[in-house]
Amino acid sequence: SGFKATSLWLPLERRAFANACIMSMGALGIIGATEPTEYLVSLIGWRSTFLVFAGLVFTVAGLIFAMVPRRDGERAPASFAEQFGQLLRILKLPLFWRLAPFLGLTAGVQIGIQTLWAGPWFRDVMRLGRDQVARHLLWMAVSFMLGILSSGFLADRLGRRGISPLTVMLGYLLAYLAAQTIIVLRVPELSFPAWLVLAATGQAGILAFPWFASRVGNELAGRSNATINFAMFVSAFAAQGVIGMIIGLFAPVATGYAPEAYSWSFGIFLALQVLALGWYLWSHRAYPVRIESIRTG
């Protein structure tokens, strides 16, 4: 809904930065889920901590409902049949299938790894204690927020010089894949900096949202963003589960999981992302975009 709002209220050239600002605010939740939560649980217990966060979410939702203005001339909500029809139109677009594998895998794998497997990796590979793991996750969350903000800022600035947000996105995601490679290889001196880069660059795919929405038209803008976002979260859940299955194939060690198990599981998803990158680059050259045919279906 936040990305839909930017498509309604802001010109196309400012939407990448606006989306990045919205996404970076989501990082506040990731930051809060690390060391602050560790401290709060030790202070008031996990049940009370859940109630505190639920109260914060409820308060913010109330503020949005009360303060965010509605757009004049806003259409009535689409019926389920209309929404399903719009979804099918998007899924039939070749452009969607050129973007979705690369964006879905890169963003999804980053979410899956950072939210579930980064902590165990720090414990089992870097041999960190619980407090140190929480501190490292906190810095990753900060890097996540700053990275998304910087990607939107750069896309906004460079867009004024005629540089596409897709170019900025590709630069960030190449850095993201390089960071994953270092993590897979378990280079001791570079491992934690690589985790910071992974957190900062893994969500750069959101820069493509306004670009894609502009090619399907305002009518499908919200639905197009939601469809790509859905692909990202499917990838995230799949990555979390499959990584766990692969790690489970290796014999455990005294501290937890075997370090090589992480390398194999992360490496498989790294290979999939590299293949998706190849498809993204090849398909954009092989099939140039024709906006008129997309909007008319």
Is residue 257, in this structure, part of any structural domain at all?
yes
pLDDT tens-digit series, residues 177-212: 999 999 999 998 999 999 999 999 999 988 888 888
Prediction pTM value = 0.82
**Is residue 233 included in any domain, yes or no?**
yes
Instruction: Look at residue 69 and tell me if it is in a domain.
Output: no
* Residue 37 counted as domain residue: no
SS3 string, the chain, reads CHHHHHHHHCCHHHHHHHHHHHHHHHHHHHHHCCHHHHHHHHHHCHHHHHHHHHHHHHHHHHHHHHHCCCCCCCCCCCCHHHHHHHHHHHHCCHHHHHHHHHHHHHHHHHHHHHHHHHHHHHHHCCCCCHHHHHHHHHHHHHHHHHHHHHHHHHHHHHHCCCCCHHHHHHHHHHHHHHHHHHHHHCCHHHHHHHHHHHHHHCCHHHHHHHHHHHHHCHHHHHHHHHHHHHHHHHHHHHHHHHHHHHHCCCCCCCCCCCHHHHHHHHHHHHHHHHHHHHHHHHHHHHCCCCHHHHHHC
The pLDDT of residue 118: 95
Residue numbers in the chain where pLDDT is lower than 70: 1-8, 10-13, 69-78, 80, 218-219, 221-222, 285-297
Determine, yes or no, domain membership for 145: yes
| Residue 296: predicted pLDDT | 44
Q: Which CATH number covers residue 25?
A: 1.20.1250.20
* Domain assignment of residue 54, yes or no: no
Q: Is residue 218 part of a domain?
A: yes
Predicted pLDDT of residue 144: 92
What's the pLDDT at 146? 92
